[in-house]
Structure 1
Amino acid sequence: MAQPTTSILCTDLGFEWPDGRPVLSGFHLAVGPGRTGLVGLNGAGKSTLLRLIAGELTPASGTVRIAGELGYLPQDLTSAADRRVDETLGIRAKREALHAIESGDVDERHFTAVGDDWDVEERARATLDRLGLGELEFDRTTGELSGGQAVLLHLAALLLRRPDVLLLDEPTNNLDARARARLYDAVSAFPGVLLLVSHDRELLDRVDQIADLRDGEVTWYGGNFTAYQETLTNEQETAERLVRTAGADVKRQKRDLIEAGQKLDKSASYGKARSIRRNDPKALADKLQAKGEETAGRLKGMHTERLNDAKERLAAAEEAVRDDAEIRIDLPRTAVPAGRTVLVLDKVRPAFGGLVDLELRGPERIALIGRNGSGKTTLLRTVAGELPPAAGEVATPVPLRYLPQRLDVLDDGLSVFRNVKEHAPAAGDNEVRARLARFLFRGARADQPAGTLSGGERFRATLAALLLADPPPQLLLLDEPTNNLDLASVRQLTQALAGYRGALIVASHDYPFLREIGITRWMEWDGGGLHAVDPQ
């Protein structure tokens, strides 16, 4: 049977949140065979669109049609801690029926439960092996798994169902380098229609086309993410060149209009003086003046029309230039002298893991890497003082701030402005607003409740609250900071850290990001100890 040319079809889709904020209106999308990467700014509606396609949200208008069975891996996975692995995989009933039959129970209901799926355990084990989860026992509870293991387990459950259409929302969040490689292979090998939202550049380089969601519409780009970036760069260079050309034309037309007006005024003045010298009759003088004014009006209208045309071309050219605003900050008060000690871990043993000895001096930037479940978050929380060490001493002689994965630093009931003010109570209101503007919260945006922010906006607001705190942090701890951020927000975070002058410890699996922020030391935490490594 031939595969349909369109596997996901959204027609005239409309959706808004209960508070009336619109997300999509009259939206159309047709996704065909192959692997599609859905990109766009945070808040553009990418995750919302996937939830609408998956049926988790109900559109206010329009329709969603799917050709075949659908599988959906959401960004925020929720699962009861006591839920078993085989239950998450959706095979518990079949396993129990198989085991009952093998033990001699020939009740018909067991055969009904198994159906034709006699090799279900073998298929499940092969799928887990392929995703690097071969050590998982079916009877184990999911509460024991790391975040990365939970993501791969839910992906395994979807692959076992063999869906025709698969939706993935930020699937590499919380995955270490090895787990990401497994997921990359699974994406490359998936035979059906795939639509994924991700900020992972390596993953997006494995898709066949890019769908760019912006201002409620999708623009299509053939090829992977690298090809998309090259095309976009060329488009933006052309658009910016047109803006410069159109801007110069506007200036020229304004100058021509002024010069024409001056010439006409001079000509009218000269004509009037000549008429007086010749002592022209009043009727003739009035006729000549009217004719001059008519000519002047025509010329002025022509130049005005040319100016308006030039302004319209400029507006159209400016519209084509993307406004992915950049964070521009300078934080001199966070500066740390080269020899100053900012952190000492003296034979520290976190709640889980081995002993750690570490001294951090000056504005060093440490990348903390390691496998999922190794305890990187526990180590960071111990350094931050959120968890007491099982042994040893933690000394932080400089102001420290910690950005957790959960981004729960903000009070959802308070505005962005009020949240930052809570962290810097001595700062004046105007000073806080001026600082927030540098984090792209200008005017009314600074008064938006934190609970209504998109993922990227929330991250910017949280980062602003930490970096603008009083006293300013000279040691900053970041735990998987690029999770859930679109590529523009990752760039904004990189820019913000470029303006940060203090010491930095970043736990992340995003190697391209780590390289861009100027890491000076790479350390791997394997649960048993901290070791210097070469990321190459």
Structure 2
Amino acid sequence: MPASVTLSGLSHTTPDGTPLFTGLNLSFGPECTGLVGRNGSGKTTLLRLITGELAPQSGSVHAPPRLVVLRQDVEPAPMGSIADLFHAGPALALLDRAEAGLAGADDLAQADWTLPARIEAALLRCGLSVPPDIPLASLSGGQRTRAALAALVFAEPDLLLLDEPTNNLDREGRRAVAELIRGWRGAAIVVSHDRELLEGMDAIVELTSLGATRYGGNYSTYRALKQVELDAARRDLADAGKARAETRRRAQQAAERKARKDRAGRHLHLKGGQPRIILDAWKDQAEAAGGAHLRLREARMAEAEDALALAREKLEVIEPLQMRIAPTGLPPGRLVLRLDHVTGGHDPARPVIRNLSLAITGPERIAIHGPNGSGKTTLLALVTGRLAPLQGTVDLRVPFALLDQHLGLLDPGLTLRGNFLRLNPQADENQARAALARFRFRADDALRQADSLSGGERLRAGLACTLGQAVPPPLLILDEPTNHLDLDATEALEAALAGYDGALLVVSHDAAFLDRLALDRTVRL
């Protein structure tokens, strides 16, 4: 299969000097490839190297000239429209002049009368039905993402690069993107942690600190192969531990034998009976042999330690993140939250929440569903008291923790340790360090400033500061918690929440995530 993208001997470091890639050799074929890896592994940087936006420190990148890229956030221009995304503003204006009888012969010769229908078809293909002159600023983030994706496909590129294309999309939008990718016949590289989207890939490439590995097949195939690797890595670590213990045992035995010989030699020397010149020669030979044996034992111990360190590093790279949540002690019959005929919204003239009643009792798990703009985040603002209802009452009976998409609970000017102690004033230094370490913020990582973290790292820090408490809050409110988490962290969060004994109120468009929460109810807006 011919390669669409070839990376040869690629090396690149972050601005602070941290190596991302060292001598990386990798190729992408004319197929749909999912690019995965933990946050900070360099996925977005790799896309920027492929597009030429970044230049590698060494090595080369060969990519087709006609490529397009969809960034994580589509920012609208102040006066931009959907037509501008398609670079079709002048062509559509020409058609308007022609229909008004204001176009000259040269204009009519250049007119593309099929353009409006083709733009409409491209938008519909991405699940969007809007006129091309609508301002981008009037669309939701999910609608802008769909419009941008439609414009990229409309350009018929040789290579499609997508960076988290479903992050801001509702369920319908995610389904539209997945269907578009499944129908794409060219080359595409898709950075994503959306497992439903990754199921439609032809191959998965994973970036780790050890390099890049390609897995043929979709996400399910990738996970099965990763489990085989994890089992092998665990066996390798156990074998390396046994080998080091055996090497230490043999070194100890050799040292004890040498000590016995040395004692015997000293005894013979003191007893006499042999010429001094012979005793000195035996001593020199014994010291030379002992030195050689010592160097050999030290070399073998160093090899055993290196093998153990390598096996441990490989396992840490492969093994999923573990998150453990302590019990909350929430009784089954305890009233957690009651909303009684609540109406509210940021615009009093058009409240997005109308006459809503809801009660949560004990450790219930409830998901809030609805398309973008239906009021999910507004409802959470009403529940948490950030927004007062226009009518009705909100009765929140227990302590809660809110993890929103923007991690407003973290003070950007504090370290992670400082944030944990601020949010958990009863905790001491050891408890703060232990909680952060459980979420892979070990040693100096606990002293990093919150504003220096990536999106995924910020959410992981938010989870550590709330779920890492000695007694977590009885109510967890999660607003799109997986939007910026990598796959390992998402699956670890699912495993942790499976053992959480408090109440859950969740807003998420991630169907796989919701399926694993064992929900009791769904509220549809």
TM-score, normalised to structure 2, is 0.88
In structure 2, the residue matched to 1:519 is 518
Matched, 1:391 2:391: yes
- Assess if the C-alpha contact under 8 Å between 1:207 and 1:224 holds in 2: yes
Question: Quick one: percent identity of the two aligned structures?
Answer: 39
Query: Against the structure 1 CA distance between its residues 280 and 200, is the aligned structure 2 distance closer, same or farther, given a 3 Å change threshold?
Result: same
Query: Against the structure 1 CA distance between its residues 64 and 307, is the aligned structure 2 distance closer, same or farther, given a 3 Å change threshold?
Result: closer
- Assess if the C-alpha contact under 8 Å between 1:369 and 1:522 holds in 2: no
- Assess if the C-alpha contact under 8 Å between 1:476 and 1:505 holds in 2: yes
> Could you say what secondary structure the match of 1:140 adopts?
coil
Query: Against the structure 1 CA distance between its residues 120 and 372, is the aligned structure 2 distance closer, same or farther, given a 3 Å change threshold?
Result: same
- Assess if the C-alpha contact under 8 Å between 1:341 and 1:362 holds in 2: yes
Inter-partner Cα distance in structure 2 for 1:176 and 1:384 = 23
Report Cα offsets for 1:342-390 as digits up to 9, x if no partner. Answer: 1101011232043221110112221222233322222222212222223
Report Cα offsets for 1:318-343 as digits up to 9, x if no partner. Answer: 343243563444434x4311111111
Identify the match of residue 35 of structure 1 among 32, 37, 60: 32
In structure 2, the residue matched to 1:94 is 91
> Could you say what secondary structure the match of 1:354 adopts?
strand
- Assess if the C-alpha contact under 8 Å between 2:325 and 2:467 holds in 1: no
Inter-partner Cα distance in structure 2 for 1:59 and 1:292 = 56
In structure 2, the residue matched to 1:376 is 376
Inter-partner Cα distance in structure 2 for 1:302 and 1:61 = 39
> Could you say what secondary structure the match of 2:205 adopts?
strand
User: Offset of 1:244 from its aligned partner?
Assistant: 1.4
Q: Which amino acid aligns with 1:83?
A: G
User: Offset of 1:453 from its aligned partner?
Assistant: 0.8
In structure 2, the residue matched to 1:437 is 437
Identify the match of residue 254 of structure 2 among 260, 266, 280: 260
Q: Which amino acid aligns with 2:119?
A: A
Query: Against the structure 1 CA distance between its residues 112 and 419, is the aligned structure 2 distance closer, same or farther, given a 3 Å change threshold?
Result: farther
> Could you say what secondary structure the match of 1:477 adopts?
strand
Report Cα offsets for 1:35-56 as digits up to 9, x if no partner. Answer: 1111111011111222333344
In structure 2, the residue matched to 1:161 is 155
Identify the match of residue 125 of structure 1 among 120, 139, 145: 120
In structure 2, the residue matched to 1:103 is 100
Matches within 5 A, 1:431-470: 431-467=431-467
User: Offset of 1:298 from its aligned partner?
Assistant: 5.2
In structure 2, the residue matched to 1:423 is 423
Query: Which is worse superposed, 229-238 or 452-461?
Result: 229-238
> Could you say what secondary structure the match of 1:206 adopts?
coil
User: Offset of 1:478 from its aligned partner?
Assistant: 0.8
Report Cα offsets for 1:276-298 as digits up to 9, x if no partner. Answer: 77833333444444445555555
Q: Which amino acid aligns with 2:156?
A: R
In structure 1, the residue matched to 2:326 is 331
Inter-partner Cα distance in structure 1 for 2:168 and 2:137 = 16
Report Cα offsets for 1:288-313 as digits up to 9, x if no partner. Answer: 44445555555555555444443343
> What is the Cα-based RMSD across aligned positions, in Å?
3.0
Unaligned runs of 5+ in 2: 346-351
Query: Against the structure 1 CA distance between its residues 243 and 427, is the aligned structure 2 distance closer, same or farther, given a 3 Å change threshold?
Result: closer
- Assess if the C-alpha contact under 8 Å between 1:145 and 1:373 holds in 2: no
Inter-partner Cα distance in structure 1 for 2:498 and 2:238 = 29
Inter-partner Cα distance in structure 2 for 1:354 and 1:453 = 38
- Assess if the C-alpha contact under 8 Å between 1:176 and 1:372 holds in 2: yes
> Could you say what secondary structure the match of 1:75 adopts?
coil
Query: Which is worse superposed, 490-499 or 251-260?
Result: 490-499
Query: Against the structure 1 CA distance between its residues 113 and 46, is the aligned structure 2 distance closer, same or farther, given a 3 Å change threshold?
Result: farther
Identify the match of residue 74 of structure 2 among 62, 70, 77: 77
Matches within 5 A, 1:217-296: 217-270=211-264, 273=267, 279-294=273-288, 296=290
Q: Which amino acid aligns with 1:366?
A: I
Identify the match of residue 152 of structure 1 among 100, 125, 146: 146
Query: Against the structure 1 CA distance between its residues 303 and 11, is the aligned structure 2 distance closer, same or farther, given a 3 Å change threshold?
Result: closer
Report Cα offsets for 1:452-506 as digits up to 9, x if no partner. Answer: 1122211111223344679953222111111122111212323443564421111
Query: Against the structure 1 CA distance between its residues 22 and 241, is the aligned structure 2 distance closer, same or farther, given a 3 Å change threshold?
Result: closer
Inter-partner Cα distance in structure 2 for 1:301 and 1:16 = 38
In structure 2, the residue matched to 1:532 is none
Identify the match of residue 350 of structure 1 among 341, 344, 354: 344
Inter-partner Cα distance in structure 1 for 2:194 and 2:474 = 29
Inter-partner Cα distance in structure 1 for 2:279 and 2:9 = 66
TM-score, normalised to structure 1, is 0.87
Query: Against the structure 1 CA distance between its residues 139 and 286, is the aligned structure 2 distance closer, same or farther, given a 3 Å change threshold?
Result: closer
Query: Which is worse superposed, 383-392 or 6-15?
Result: 6-15
Query: Which is worse superposed, 73-82 or 104-113?
Result: 104-113
Matches within 5 A, 1:185-196: 185-196=179-190
Matched, 1:202 2:193: no
